[in-house]
Amino acid sequence: MEDLVETGRKFVQAMRDRQGITNVDDMYAETAESIEAVVPPKRYVRVSSSREAIKAKREDWLAEHEIHRLDADGPYVHPPNRFAVRFDVDATQKATGRRMNLREIAVYSVEDGRIVREEFFMAPK
């Protein structure tokens, strides 16, 4: 369980430090997959399969949004191999100027010290 806690803490700190793209190479397995709660605008798919696809998804999101605040709370561990993080983000869509507050929970599955799956859960409106 200590390795899971360490992985979770390292991940949360990277998100707090806004290193969400640079930490992908370090923390994600090559074959990791990311599953969104719904199909994101302009992405057309809920599932991104591969470390490179996850990086591309994050780069796209950052290119389209200005982040004013990003809070990452956790990790909340579920031994032997999962942890969750609560995100609260204040961001503006660059194309529309629309400011929004996004809240979601993400569950991460870990194998051999690397994230192999992330699943996002959103609060209903």
Residue 54 pLDDT > 90? yes
Q: pLDDT digits over 74-99, tens only?
A: 999 999 999 999 999 999 999 999 99
**pTM for this model (two decimals):** 0.93
State the pLDDT at residue 21: 87
Q: Can you tell me whether residue 112 is helix, strand or coil?
A: coil
State the pLDDT at residue 43: 65
Helix (H) or strand (E) holding 121: strand 114-122
Phi, psi of 80 (to 5 degrees): -95, -10
State the pLDDT at residue 6: 96
